Every structure is written in structure tokens, then in C-alpha cells.
Amino acid sequence: MKRRHLLTAITATTLLLTACGANDKPAGPQAGAEVKPGGTLYLLTDSPTQQYDPARSSSLVVTGLQFVHRRLTSWQVAPGKDTTIVPDLATDTGKPSDGGKTWTFTLKDNLKYNDGTPIKSADVKWGLERSFAAAFSGGLAYHKDLLSPGLAYKGPFEGGKELDTIETPDDKTIIFKLARPYGDWNWVASTPAFAPVPKGKGAEANYNEHPVASGPYFLEKFERGKEAVLARNTYWDKATDDTRKAYPDKVVWQLGQQTNVVSKRLIDDSGDDRNAFGTSFASPAQLAQIQGNASAKSRLVTSESGALAYLALNTERGKLTDPKVREAFQYAVNKAAFQVASAGNAQLAGDIATTLITPGLVGREQFDPYPTKPEGDPNKAKELLAAAGLPNGLDGLILVTRNENGGPEKAQSIQAGLAAAGIKVTIKTLDEDAFTAEVQTKPNPDYDLVLESWQPDIPSANANIQPLFQSTEIGGGGFNTSRYNKPEIDKLITEAQATVDPNEAGRKWAEIDKKILADSPVVPLIYTRNSYLHGSKVGNVIIGRFPAYADYRQFGIIP
């Protein structure tokens, strides 16, 4: 399943400003105050646009798209707890049958769009069919190969062909006939493409600028590069929606904002900016400003954990084809230096990672197959290289990194640690487009090592493991940048995906985690932390254990 990396598709703040725990009660003027219905929430972003076409969106359940579109299922997110699946448009989280190959959902009563027309099962089917059309691609695609193996289906717009693996026997029932058993289908049903689109609508390329809304708000005004204004959908029935609070009367996205200006506005905390939430990165100088401002520091929330940052080793390249050589990197890398390069110190950056599955997911086991100090063990790495026939170490390796978000500085910390172990690398810094072309698309890419990070798209270990390590994800835009290809692992991934019981599936994913790390295709670095700055009148800014992003559904304005 080829789709965009979540971290590049969401405008989530990663300010990393303070070591306070997630959802600490602030010490500022809003401490103890409760949000009330009403008011206007302002979301400040450096992005020039927002994507409101669900077929093209990678937005998580807790972020921007949820204001306008609902999905079959949703997530219950809370601090200190694993995220669980709950119904959204459906009455339950889906009924599997036929060993997990067939899933049936029933829509709730009294579901309406913002124009007052009823939401029907055929609309969910139509929305999914739209996602197969080339003109409306770009969103998460977990569903596609399961509904149309080999992506033979090309959408409904050429000849009006329907996708016969989705059945809608009546207006309330939708049945999915999958190509193979898939235990996470109920989680997949929470991805954007499962938002309903009225059958026959959305043929135009700019549907994202005037979508039909099923959520608590509709898009009242959209001006690219300036703003997107969301107003209440009077036909949204709170009794049918257990996860969206929908406190504000309006939500205004201020688009194309300069990050330094956003930071200053939120620090100053005056006028409408008291009702604002920032979604853009801040420079180190801006971070220092906030650290020195007691009021601003009181308006920060920080995640418990976050994305897995890791060093991928090109397992098809030179000496890195040998697992024994790759094992040396587990000891050569200085993870403590990487923490400092990421956010100034270890506590701000996030905990050191030793597993592939990130915290907060069912079945995750904490283990460390290569125990060493945070600074690594260069001598141990040298011994392993010598035992693998490389007594003089390695030379001439190419380390690729992105040029944004401190990529060069992080790469330099890796470079220095490897040099101490006799591994010499040259850093190649690329912009996002060049990075994608070289690392993810090129048939024979010119790199040995690559710095990456990954936040799963759904709260399942499946979304941690499959995109990064299944052989089908090598090249063609996939995210298997270690180019790891092992039939045994492919088989185990398919078996785990087919397991319907979540606890049993969790055990299988944990074993796969251990088996992959035994081959050392990657070096886990840290589980990155995210922090958010908001105005003094914005309340309920909480972050669950997963994902490491603030839950926009809970935001409200303090009178």
C-alpha cells in the first residue's frame, strides 16, 4: 500500500519546548477553568491550504478533517491509556465473519449531511470508490488492495463501474468482502476514505473546497493561503457522536502563517490569539523565548511519546547485506547525541528506543536485544566489524537526511558516533521532493544509511511494521527504506494481519518486532515527543498515549 508518510501530511506541532508531562494542568490564568459551548477557535498553520477531500487526506481521527467529516469508526483517546476503537457513523466497530474476510457495519439512525439529506450506506461506498480514481489519489490507502487486489478497480467515473467487493443491501448496511482475512479492518474503517460522500457528488477536482459535511462543522469559506472558516452543521446530532465535543461555534484556520510570527503571537497572548492554537514548527531561538516566559510555558502540553526515529540501513548495499555487519551499528550509534541534536537534551527529545513498535499500541512489548549505554559502545562495534571480516571498519558510506526539522544536525550526530566506531560516512542532505525520489522511488537508490521517522496511521502494530518492513513496500513510493526483503517476515506479517483477536494479533506483532530486529535492518533511535503551545483561552488541549498529537475534537474556549 503506497501512501504518503503521515508526518509530512499532518500539520502537527512539534515544538518540544518543555519537559512537562502530557496534559499537565497549566499554571496560567486558565487553570481550573472549564470550557463552555461557544466562541471561535483559531488554528494557526504555516500550510497554505487544508485538505477537505477525504479521498486525498491522510488526516488522523484527532486532527483537522474530523471537524467536517465523520468515518465508520473512531478512536477513544485519553492521557495515560492505550487508544481504543469506538463507533462513529456505525452502531458498532464492525462484525467480522468468514475468518475476517467479511466485515459488516450498520449505520446509526438520524445521520444527516449539512444540507439535511440523510447519510446512506451507498454514500460510504461511493466515497471509497472515489478514492480509487487517479484524480483523487493521495490519501491513506490501507483499504485499496484488500478491496481490489492489484488495484484493478480504477474508480466510478469512467463507465460508472461499481466496486463489487462492497455491498449495500439497504440504506443502513454496508458489507466489505476482502481479498483476505484482515483483523484490523475496523481500524482501517477510521481512515479518511471511509467518510461518506453523497453518491454522484465529488466528480470535480476542487471538491475539497466545498465538501458535503457529515461532521459538526461545514466549510463556510475557503481561501487558499489565507483562511478556511468552519461553521456549525445544524444537522449534526451530538447524540450520535460520542467523540467530538464541538464546543466552538466557529473554527477558523489561518493559513500560510510565518512560524516566527505565530510563535510571537501565542507568546504575547492578546486579543483573538488567546483563542488560538499553533500548528507550526518553531526555531531554536523561538523555543528559547518560550522557555523564558512563564505564561507561555504554562500553556504547553507534551506527549508521553511519539514517532519512532530510526536509522535505516540499506540491506541491499555493499557490506550492509551482512546482518553481522549491520549488528555493529546497533552499538556504534550514539543515541544520546541524537537526543541532544533533536531537542537540546534527552528529556525534551524523547526516550531512547529499542523496539520498532511504538508505545501506546496493543501488544507492544518492551525489550532490548542490543543492551548498551545511551552513548553506544564503539569498541563493541569494532569487535563485531572485525568478526565480520572488517578489521579496518567501513569507509565511503552515504547517509541521506532531509534538510528540514534539524535533519543535518541529527545526521551529524550519527556521523560522529559512527566515526568513533571506525565507520566513515558522508552526509547527503535533500529537500522533501528529492528525498522521496532518491530514497522511496528510485529503483537503485544511492544511499547506505537514511534517517527516518514514523508515526503509525492507525493505533495498531500492523501500521508500525508492515509499511516499513514488508517487501512489497520497497520502492515505488513505499517506506521500506532499509529495502528489507525476507519471505519469512512477509509471511508472518500476512498471518498477523489475518488475526481478528486483537490480543492474539498483538502477540504476533511483538514476535515479528523481535525477529526483524534480530536482522538489524534499522537502528531504533528515540520515540520523539511532541509539545504544543496555545492561547490562554483554549481549554481541553489533551494528548493521549497514541497518537502524539493534540486531540482537536476536545478543544473548547474558556469564557
pLDDT at 18: 33
Rounded CA-CA distance 413/419 in Å is 10
Element (H, E) at 414: helix 407-420
**Rounded percentage of the chain residues whose pLDDT exceeds 70:** 92
Asked if residue 256 lies in contact with residue 48, where contact means CB atoms within 8 angstroms, the answer is: yes
pLDDT at 287: 64
pLDDT confidence bin for 25, thresholds 50/70/90 = very low
pTM of the model: 0.88
| Mean pLDDT across 418-432 | 96
Other Cβ atoms within 10 Å of 431 Cβ, number: 12
323-332 and 502-519 helices cross at what angle (nearest 10)?
A: 100
| Mean pLDDT across 350-365 | 91
408 CB contacts (<8 Å, ≥6 apart)? Answer: 401, 427, 429
Residues comprising the chain, all counted: 559
Asked whether the bond before 547 is cis by omega within 30 degrees of 0, the reply is: yes
pLDDT confidence bin for 529, thresholds 50/70/90 = confident
pLDDT at 9 over 50: no
User: What separation in angstroms does the CA of 85 have from each of 73, 93, 287, 426, 516?
Assistant: 7, 7, 35, 45, 27
Rounded CA-CA distance 76/212 in Å is 25
Rounded CA-CA distance 274/299 in Å is 11
> Looking at the chain, which residues constitute the CATH 3.40.190.10 domain(s)?
64-211
Which of 103-107, 386-390, 436-440 shows the lowest per-residue confidence on average (mean pLDDT)?
436-440
Rounded CA-CA distance 282/260 in Å is 7
pLDDT, mean over the chain = 90
Rounded CA-CA distance 299/337 in Å is 29
pLDDT in tens, 52-95: 999 999 999 999 999 999 999 999 998 888 889 999 999 999 99
* Strand partners of residue 103: 96, 176
* Residue owning grid cell 550492509: 320
Other Cβ atoms within 10 Å of 427 Cβ, number: 16
| Mean pLDDT across 166-186 | 98
Asked if residue 210 lies in contact with residue 53, where contact means CB atoms within 8 angstroms, the answer is: no
pLDDT in tens, 367-417: 999 999 999 999 999 999 999 999 999 999 999 999 887 899 999 999 999
Which of 2-6, 308-312, 424-428, 441-445 shows the lowest per-residue confidence on average (mean pLDDT)?
2-6
Rounded CA-CA distance 103/186 in Å is 8
278 CB contacts (<8 Å, ≥6 apart)? Answer: 13, 15, 44, 262, 263, 266, 532, 533, 534
| Mean pLDDT across 307-323 | 97
pLDDT confidence bin for 107, thresholds 50/70/90 = very high
pLDDT at 3: 36
Per-state percent for the chain, helix, strand, coil, to nearest 5: 30, 20, 50
Higher-pLDDT residue of 62, 282: 62
DSSP string, 253-276: EE-S--HHHHHHHHHHT-GGGGGE
Rounded CA-CA distance 46/25 in Å is 27
452 CB contacts (<8 Å, ≥6 apart)? Answer: 309, 310, 311, 312, 479, 481, 522
pLDDT at 4 over 60: no
Q: Which of 149, 213, 141 is nearest to 458 (CA)?
A: 141
Here the cell at position 328 is: 555493529
| Mean pLDDT across 206-222 | 96
Q: Which of 208, 52, 61, 58 is nearest to 138 (CA)?
A: 58
Higher-pLDDT residue of 432, 375: 375
pLDDT at 118: 98
pLDDT at 27: 37
| CATH, range 308-528 | 3.10.105.10
User: What separation in angstroms does the CA of 245 have from each of 37, 62, 236, 553?
Assistant: 9, 12, 12, 6
Asked if residue 512 lies in contact with residue 525, where contact means CB atoms within 8 angstroms, the answer is: no
| Mean pLDDT across 166-184 | 98
Higher-pLDDT residue of 158, 518: 518
| Mean pLDDT across 163-184 | 97
Amino acid residing at 375? E
**Rounded percentage of the chain residues whose pLDDT exceeds 90:** 76
Distance between terminal CA atoms of the chain? 46
pLDDT at 348 over 80: no
pLDDT at 2: 35
Rounded CA-CA distance 255/11 in Å is 11
Higher-pLDDT residue of 25, 389: 389
Rounded CA-CA distance 338/411 in Å is 8
Higher-pLDDT residue of 279, 9: 279
pLDDT at 259: 83
pLDDT at 26: 38
Rounded CA-CA distance 529/143 in Å is 29
Rounded CA-CA distance 27/30 in Å is 8
pLDDT at 344: 74
> Looking at the chain, which residues constitute the CATH 3.10.105.10 domain(s)?
308-528
pLDDT at 17: 35
pLDDT at 15 over 60: no
SS3 14: coil
Which fold does the domain 64-211 belong to in CATH? D-Maltodextrin-Binding Protein; domain 2 (3.40.190)
Higher-pLDDT residue of 499, 280: 499
Amino acid residing at 340? V
pLDDT at 10 over 60: no
Higher-pLDDT residue of 95, 291: 95
Which of 6-20, 59-73, 269-283 shows the lowest per-residue confidence on average (mean pLDDT)?
6-20
487-497 and 461-469 helices cross at what angle (nearest 10)?
A: 150
| Mean pLDDT across 155-172 | 93
pLDDT in tens, 225-257: 999 999 999 999 999 999 999 999 999 999 999
